[in-house]
Structure 1
């Protein structure tokens, strides 16, 4: 099946498996779960001999391939690693209408995924939209995550993070061709992406076909940076939960990120569980996983010891 419609009327497309033949160095077998009539892809590796399960949450416009350099050292440390592709990205189904994407739906879909997986003693690493979703859930459900690692993300409550983000919003809506591979490459400060990496980030969106790219196009406009955004009250409520959170929170931040580099102190200062943790900053850009993947994995492994 390459196209379909859910019971709630969401029309979607499914990226052909052959599109991922260009992916190199990410030889993990995808698994799938039905979420509201949409197929959500995820990777589940390792047996968790360490007693820890590490959930890796990507953002926009990437997919689990972003963690290709982090997964091997996490597995070597004995952890179970679970990495889902958000609906609209990676190997997951892609609703074709921009109106089918909302912040609240993505929070709901990830909650459904977590319920299905019955994950326990969970450490989550979240970046970009992975954090917008994860931090919201953590604020809503204090016991969902035992530990949180944050990297270049946040939980907005109606204010803009600044001109760089506003420029990205405008670019995302006006650029004639949204080349996701080149977009990731352009944010890297310390690493030049190989052509195979660019191809892998473009693989979910064959020929840059806009019908596959609806999620990637609309995600920047879904961030609640205006006071009238419908998710602002729920995010404010979630912040109250985060402000009372004593469970550990670790910040591993890329200071070369023009979008969110300056936001590094926010979570550390507002979440009690961040106190006295071994936070680290790096010189990398927005997609830290691709510039400092092994170092990030080492920091997580050392922390979990």
Structure 2
């Protein structure tokens, strides 16, 4: 006898069908699952590599911390022959080089980005972008050798003229003090690094400026504003956070630059406020002294690498947070 099923009560939701067990899988299921596993492993591998780098640096710098204590990171004395292994002076001179580089690179980079996006003819934009990107591909040692062989001597003459001009002015007379005769100085290193970070700051700034809605620019021009007023009133306010992030990313690049700085900074570990005097940075002293170092000195140089890594990670986190805030404000995921 055939069993007749009672119809569902009026208004009652139908029962869901039983779950499928087994059966054919959709096309591409295996490839999608493999890709997901590979992507997860790649992400985990990046974190593992970073953790291993931090661990190796920390483990090899323990001798420095045991001998000098954590205060050695802030100590201004670096004299291995006297058992002094302070990083403070080198940290300050590293920041001096980076700040000089930013002061030189940021205005030029913003100007180039505005020229490419707003002024240059469309036909000329691609060649300009290609040249700017090409600068980013040039090895740092090439920049260092170029400045060492071609610019150091002329820069020494310029430094002397500037010093003679401001030597009697308070503060400026100390900042632009008696120059090195060779032209190898903190300022020279800042100039090299400024040239090197210019392409990356330009590229990021150009992309940020390009996010300004065309409607805002057209509305500003329609109200009778000049091109400069449009840039100042529409593009700059819209792109402020992104430009700050580009500057911080450039700052992180400047802090870690090594070979070019080692060639032109003059290699002096004595802290000075004179930007025309020789100096040293965390990265350049590692490059110059690591090969001949041993014992606590070698451990200290590895510790300098740990300090440098911490500085770049912090700067990267700050830049990412600023970019995320800017994207959230613009409604970008």
| TM-score when normalising by structure 1 | 0.22
Q: Which structure: larger Rg?
A: 2
Structure showing the higher helix proportion among its residues: 2
| TM-score when normalising by structure 2 | 0.20
